[in-house]
Amino acid sequence: MPSALIIGLGPEILPALSLSSYLSGVINYHQGFADPSLILTTLLLPIVYGTASLFLRQRFSQDCRLHSTRDVTNLLGISLFAASVTASVGTQILIWEGQIRRADFAHAAFNWWVGDAVALSSLTPFLLQFVLPVLRRYLDVGKIGPQSGRVPKAFNTRSFLETIGLVGAPIVVFALVFGTFFARSPYLFYLFFLPIIWVSTRRGLRGAVTGLLLLDTGLVVMMRVTSVGKEELALLQFLMLILALTGLLLGSMIDERQEAKRQLEEQEERTRLILESTAEGIYGIDCDGVCTFMNPAAMRILGFASPLGVLGKNVHRVCHHSREDGTPYPEKECLVYEALRRGHGTHADSEVFWRADGAPVPVEYWSLPMKRDETIIGCVATFVDITERRKFERVLRESEQRFRGCSRAPRSESP
């Protein structure tokens, strides 16, 4: 919890956290107000966790949420390292005070580390994802950016049943592991991985964080009810740590995949809108000359009511099969296909495409190869209808001819 508060609110919260740590030792552990170990521990925790949290604060985004696998690995790696430092130094303080034997250093330090590590890997991510954004907004600290990742699903029967399953799965696992009458089955503890994996893959990082907090809370309650021994307690805490690592890493990877998918869909949507909005006709062909896409402007110019009239067909045979005078236009001479054969762009403004109704359309077109890793995988042709330009050029030529005819006419002699 201190780490999340320092990451979200900044170093200004350190004095309050130090005071709360001191009062916790007095109230919960019944230590004296002037106990040296309490004073040293009160100084130790803010120094170590404060330094780690400020280091993490510089590496997180401005809203201090977990957005990626990198954020999760930074949080886990730095926090668990800080926990190991705190456990080692804190245990040494207890040995110096005579509360622990030196021979028990490794065992005591490990138990301390596991306890802190479980809280850091389950409670801290929950606070960062759900609590700190609300608290920062209330305190007007920093800026809260929009939540990236998967788009919320519309509520329907399927999502409702899935939610029931996600809630019910941990209950079933608790019943199997601890038994009807709290008869523990230690060899079934691995079943707790199943609901965590399920909720992580279906709900991403936020689902994993919520599921981990609920599972860990349930485990703590069951350990309290069943009077777990010290050895089994350490084993369960280590299991909770592994569950947290699995859920957080899997959830973050799922979120990254969903974010990449969302960005790809947005890019494809932008490309589609550009193709549909441009006035130029655009179509693409593969290396066999088969049409792979055609935008609405191209279909309009060529008179196709539906892309089905050309998609999957040889474009040259459909709309570029003949010259303007009606003579056949072989594919091997087609300048559109020249981009495929030679790997460079081509341009022409003296040819025609043929409409679906058989009428010729004067066009100016450009053909450019599509390459992937320097390998040609097709080409894109862009064309415009130049019927009006042809009419204007014909009128201009006729006007020039009349002007030249007038200038060459013999002048009449004046009387």
Contacting residues for 64 by C-beta, under 8 A, at least 6 apart: 7, 8, 57, 128, 132, 133, 136, 142
Q: How many CB atoms lie within 10 A of CB 227?
A: 8
Q: Is 34 exposed, middle or buried (0-12, 13-18, 19+ CB in 10 A)?
A: exposed
The residue ranges of every structural domain in the chain are 2-148+155-268, 279-401
Nearest-angstrom CA–CA distance, 284 and 297: 13
Nearest-angstrom CA–CA distance, 128 and 112: 23
Please give the pLDDT value at position 415: 47
DSSP SS3 for 290: strand
Q: Residue 377: which H helix or E strand, with range?
A: strand 375-385
Q: Which of 210, 72, 76, 205 is closest to 131 using CA atoms?
A: 210
Contact 196, 215 (CB under 8 A): yes
Contact 144, 63 (CB under 8 A): yes
**Using alpha carbons only, how large is the chain's radius of gyration in Å?**
36
Q: How many CB atoms lie within 10 A of CB 341?
A: 13
Domain 279-401 grouped into CATH 3.30.450.20: yes
Nearest-angstrom CA–CA distance, 18 and 41: 10
Contacting residues for 142 by C-beta, under 8 A, at least 6 apart: 62, 63, 64, 136
- Averaged pLDDT, groups of 10, the chain, 415 residues long: 59 70 72 78 84 86 86 92 92 88 90 88 89 78 53 70 88 79 62 92 92 88 72 78 93 93 92 89 94 94 89 93 93 90 91 94 95 91 93 82 68 50
Nearest-angstrom CA–CA distance, 284 and 376: 13
From residue 388, how far is each of 216, 295, 393, 394 by CA, in Å?
Answer: 75, 22, 9, 10
Distance of CA 394 to the CA centre of its chain: 57
DSSP SS3 for 390: helix
Q: Which of 42, 53, 51, 45 is closest to 4 using CA atoms?
A: 53
Q: How many CB atoms lie within 10 A of CB 60?
A: 18
Task: Express each pLDDT in 359-403 by its tens digit.
Answer: 999 999 999 999 988 899 999 999 999 999 889 888 887 777 777
Sheet of 346-354, strands arranged across: 291-294, 281-286, 375-385, 360-372, 346-354
Token pair 């803010």: residue = 46
Q: Which of 341, 364, 344 is closest to 352 using CA atoms?
A: 364
Q: HSE of 327 in the Cβ direction (CA atoms, 13 Å)? A: 4
Q: How many CB atoms lie within 10 A of CB 36?
A: 12
Q: Which of 155, 3, 154 is closest to 66 using CA atoms?
A: 3
Please give the pLDDT value at position 182: 47
DSSP letter (8 states) at residue 164 = H
DSSP SS3 for 383: strand
| Global pTM value | 0.74
Nearest-angstrom CA–CA distance, 312 and 294: 11
Using CA of residue 33, residue 37, residue 38, residue 44, what is the dihedral sign? positive
**E-assigned strand segments in 79-193:** none
Q: How far apart are the first and last CA of the chain?
A: 115
Contact 78, 55 (CB under 8 A): yes
Token pair 């700190």: residue = 132
What would the two tokens of residue 56 be?
């993490």
Strand-pair partners of 382? 282, 366
